[in-house]
Structure 1
Amino acid sequence: MKLKDIERTANVAWSPKSHYPIHLAAGTAAQQLDASFSTNAALEIYSLNVTDPGPDMQLVSSVPSDHRFHKIIWGSVGSEPGSGTIIGGCDGGLIQIYNASKLLKNEDALMGRQEKHSGPVHSLDFNGFQQNLFASGAANSEIFIWDLNNIATPMSPGAKCQPLEDVLSVLWNKQVQHILATTFSSKCVIWDLRKNEPIIKLTDTVSRVHWKVVAWHPEVATQLCLASGRVQRVLNCVMYLPPRALKANQVL
């Protein structure tokens, strides 16, 4: 049953669970066109209230953007409790950082811009344990770890994976704060950020599917799911402590 809808060609992110009322950030999607063939771009905030009559969500604020978005995330760290920070990944290696509280007040909310990446920023994710940290993935196997307290100097988790590919998805482990999964078209690479090196590479050499998304199990630190446009695989990873390696066994 449909409760609400938004007619936008956009990438979206829900507000953090500590934020109330519930809001949805929608950034105009990169490399796509809507029915009007508009070339404009914006970051919009909508309010969700399922008790309101009608299918439309209320538009709370809208700020224009010179760039369209490949990915939007909304974290809980911000200058005001509960408001948080919204980050968008764009073309040209650009990352834009917004103050969510100022966005909701229709004030100038752009806190910073960084162009450390050399190509489109397809993936972003906040660390669930340290919300000032977030990871980004872009073209040419580029992966950066950022600190909102010092966004000028991101770190790389290790040498670039070869051959060079777009990083399509990055996701922090839900139970172990220094484990990061990154998805490329041909493989999934899991990094131990205490060692700054990859500890396992998962590939499917039989079906040669093109992976797109990775998801960690919310409670079991050693399980993850990989998905493509056609195929889904659930993988079980066995970690040794201290983690010298990860082993993966395909179970589905």
Structure 2
Amino acid sequence: MRFYKSETSFFILIVFLGGAGIMLYRAQTALDALSPIVTGDVAKLVGYITTANSSAALFLVAALLCGIFLIYPLIRFQAQDHGKLQAMTQILSARSESLAHAALTDGLTGMQNRRYFDEALREYLVQFGRINKPVGLMILDLDHFKSVNDTYGHHVGDAVLREVARCLKDYTRYHDVVARLGGEEFAVVAPNMEREMLAKLADRIRKAISDIDIAIDDANLKVTTSIGVAVWDRRESWQDFYRRADKLLYNAKNTGRDRVCV
């Protein structure tokens, strides 16, 4: 049986009251022993103390009974009620955290979603702008992905997206933001990375995605991606920064696909 703090405190009080009762009993025993051998005013004083001692004992017994049969049930009920509310609060808090996580996570790939990406990009520009460090951005779009869904079905398309997500996680750092923006479009926010290093990383990712094999019956499906790469110029807003990287992505699409445009 679990006892709450309020109940434990009550039991400690009962122990103290019990100790006081024992002391009163011992005092009464001593007074009873004195009564036959004292006379006059001393006998009157002993009688007065005996009466007061008996009255105190009666009040003590009444306090113990009231505490045990009236106060303790109330304490127990309130403690249990508080425990239920606390447990419910914890459940609701955990559920809230779960919902918040779900709101920022792509259900198919387990990556961050567009909402998280927008907030993270804005915050990264603020924080890294303060310490005068670069922020790189890659926007990726799988080439001819609609034909994959149309030809092989959405279950194959989903498998491709999950493999691309795994590839992106493998090639990025723990503090990079890797997100699925929607459909077959992905993004990587890479702080503290200059243009040349960012371009090399984007090309490694492009090659890694082109090496992905999705087994379909007796054949292997290959996919490629086009990537737009930009480094923040420290003046543009996060929306303008995104639009510039997105424009570079479409340049890569329009100049042949399966390439990086910086």
Fold match, TM over 0.5? no
Q: TM-score range by the shorter chain?
A: under 0.3
Q: Which structure dedicates a bigger proportion of its chain to strand?
A: 1
Higher helix share: 2
Structure index of larger Rg: 2
